Structure 1
């Protein structure tokens, strides 16, 4: 909920300045208690940014397709997530903290020997620490923690937590 409130404040804040949107492609790998994942995706920067006393906030859309492999099945995950990035004033401009909550469809329903999702629709929320590099800041990496669950729409709702590494190439 605090992330959603921050997103609302950032989008509606006065004095927000236009930023030049960029598109990027990414690949990501992750591990969970009972699964491994491989993901490809595309992101698109929002056309604004906001400077606060603690740092600069930007945003982007992230769309992705992932494949989860567990001990008992393979599932495909398709998601769309709005994400906010904070570039803290006390850090180098190339470092960022990112968070987002998005909608995901995971089919067939995710099942392992220990966990069984009750819905194909799930939310995915993440928190990441990342760094941009390269002559035009066109490369970036991030270490991410992402949680998938259905927010108690239906039980059981065991959720799954992934530790992920992402490489992004900005155009």
Structure 2
């Protein structure tokens, strides 16, 4: 049986993701910080139509940044570990899913600098074990993309605190059907070391 080619909309997503992977790794501005040491940690809670999620994670800042007349672009790597609870099986039973992900994230600080308001976007790879299901949705793969848009604010001494509101979508981008996807609204608190 002949395989059909990947959907046309998937090519830009894959090219964008591969381009992000070519960006430099963790920041080397702090010579005392080893490359493997994270720059921040976060906790995150989210809700979808029929599921809730709790996520912990670490981030590694990039040394890459671009200052434009209207703002500063920078980024980071995010590694996350989460648990989802869905309403699969009715109100008395819950399906638990473990999420493990890695995501390159681009961040924009309007007006420049590394503190204050920011916007960000990311597209990453996630494993959902076992396959996610709820009363009305069933994913077909354990591998899924997680893309997000977010707005947040960095504040406090050294800009050590962050609060972010995120909209995140998980799906397999048409690798296999069914592919209903799931959308989470998430609130995140991050602390920079």
Q: TM-score, normalised by structure 2?
A: 0.78
Q: Is the 8 A contact 2:168 2:183 kept in 1?
A: yes
User: In the TM superposition, what whole-angstrom CA distance separates every residue of 1:89-114 from its partner, at most 9, and x where no partner exists?
Assistant: 28994110010000000010001110
The structure number with the bigger radius of gyration is 2
The answer to whether residue 26 in structure 2 is matched with residue 4 in structure 1 is: no
> Offset of 1:170 from its aligned partner?
0.3
The answer to whether residue 184 in structure 2 is matched with residue 162 in structure 1 is: yes
Equivalent residue runs for 1:31-46 within 5 Å: 31-46=47-62
Q: TM-score, normalised by structure 1?
A: 0.88
User: Any stretches of 5+ residues in structure 2 without a counterpart?
Assistant: 1-11, 89-94
Cα distance in 2 between the residues matched to 1:95 and 1:54:
13
- Aligned length in residues: 165
> Offset of 1:19 from its aligned partner?
5.2
Runs of 4+ in 1 over 2 A off after TM superposition: 1-5, 18-22, 90-93
User: In the TM superposition, what whole-angstrom CA distance separates every residue of 1:4-54 from its partner, at most 9, and x where no partner exists?
Assistant: 38x65x949xxxxx7558610000000001100000000010012111233
Cα distance in 2 between the residues matched to 1:114 and 1:135:
46
- Residue 97 of structure 1 corresponds to 119
The answer to whether residue 150 in structure 2 is matched with residue 112 in structure 1 is: no
- Residue 50 of structure 1 corresponds to 66
Cα distance in 2 between the residues matched to 1:52 and 1:92:
13
User: Any stretches of 5+ residues in structure 1 without a counterpart?
Assistant: 13-17
* SS at 1:81 equivalent: strand
Greater fraction of residues in strand:
1
* SS at 1:86 equivalent: strand
The two structures, once aligned, show a CA RMSD in angstroms of 2.5
